[in-house]
Amino acid sequence: MRLTDFKVLTFDCYGTLIDWESGLCSALQPLLQAAKLGISREEVLAQFARHEAAQQSATPALLYPQLLAEVHRRLARQWLVSLPQEAHGVFGASVPQWPAFADSPAALQYLKRHFKLVILSNVDRASFAGSNARLGVAFDAVCTAQDIGSYKPDPRNFRYLIEAVARLGHGRDAILHTAQSLYHDHAPAQAVGLRSAWIDRRHEQEGWGATVPPAGTPTYDFRFTSLAEMARAHAAEAG
C-alpha cells in the first residue's frame, strides 16, 4: 500500500493540524491559577479529556463552544474554584486562538496539489473557520459536529464523511483518513472500512494527552510523526 494509491485525505483538525493541547493549556491558565493545584500539564490534559468525552456523550448536539464551556464548569467544580460565568464562555470561545502546528500550512499546501482535502472535526463551523485561517489552505469539504449532530468517535460521523466524499466523486477506497487520535479517529475509521494514517504528534511524550485511551489496540496503515514527514513520504513515492 502506498500513499499514491489514494485520492482523498480526510483530516481530523485538532491535535493533527492545530496544536490543541497547547491551545487548551493556554486557555485553561486562568482556571489553573485560581485552583493553585500544582498538577502536571499531562494530568491537566487527562482530566480535560475525561470531562470532554463524558460531555460529548451526554450532549452530542451541543455546539462545541458551549460544550467546552460546560467542560470548563466541570473542571472548576472538580478543582473547587468559583469563577464568573463569563469565564466559562471565554474558554469555550478560545478555539480560533489555538495555534497551528508549525509544519501544517506548508504540508497542506503540498498535499493539496495531489489530493482532495476534507475535514472531519469535532467542532462547529465558526470555530473551524478561525482555525482554517491559520492553516492557509482551502479544503474541498468541511464536516463538523455541528453539521452531523454528534461527536467522534460516533460511527455516524464517519458515515457522514464517506457520503460527503462521495459527493466529490470518490468512494471509500479512495480515502485515507489522517489523524492523531487513536480514540476519536483511527478506531472508528477502521470500523467503517477506511484506511488511515496516524500523525503521531505525541511520539516523544507518554500518555494520551487530551484524549481518553482507546479501547483495545486500534490499527492504522501508515504512521508519521508529523504532517511534514507524510508530505515528504508522498514526494518520495511520486518520484
- Domains in the chain with CATH codes: 3-20+99-238 (3.40.50.1000), 21-97 (1.10.150.750)
118 - beta bridge partners?
A: 10, 141
Per-residue pLDDT for 23 more than 90?
yes
When mean pLDDT is compared across 77-86, 122-131, 144-153, 162-171, the lowest value belongs to 77-86
Distance from C-alpha of 54 to C-alpha of 73, rounded to nearest angstrom: 13
Is 12 a residue of the active site? Answer: yes
| Locus of grid cell 467522534 | 152
**pLDDT reported for residue 141:** 98
Give the mean pLDDT of 37-51: 92
Reduced to 3 states (helix: H, G, I; strand: E, B; else coil), residue 207 is coil
Reduced to 3 states (helix: H, G, I; strand: E, B; else coil), residue 210 is coil
- Note the pTM of the prediction, 2 decimals: 0.93
What is the percent of the chain where pLDDT is above 90? 88
Distance from C-alpha of 115 to C-alpha of 100, rounded to nearest angstrom: 21
Backbone angles phi, psi at 197, to 5 degrees: -120, 125
Distance from C-alpha of 75 to C-alpha of 52, rounded to nearest angstrom: 10
Distance from C-alpha of 13 to C-alpha of 15, rounded to nearest angstrom: 6
Active-site residue (options: 5, 12, 124, 200): 12
Q: Name the residue among 59, 62, 26, 69 with its Cα closest to residue 44.
A: 26
Q: Name the residue among 143, 134, 141, 181 with its Cα closest to residue 8.
A: 141
Residue 37: which pLDDT band, with cuts at 50, 70 and 90?
confident
Distance from C-alpha of 23 to C-alpha of 10, rounded to nearest angstrom: 22
Contact 71/95 with Cβ under 8 angstroms? no
Give residue 212's identity as a one-letter amino acid code.
V
Q: CA angle, corner 23, sides to 31 and 42, nearest 5?
A: 70
Give residue 40's identity as a one-letter amino acid code.
S
Q: What average pLDDT is seen over the chain? A: 95
Per-residue pLDDT for 218 more than 90?
no
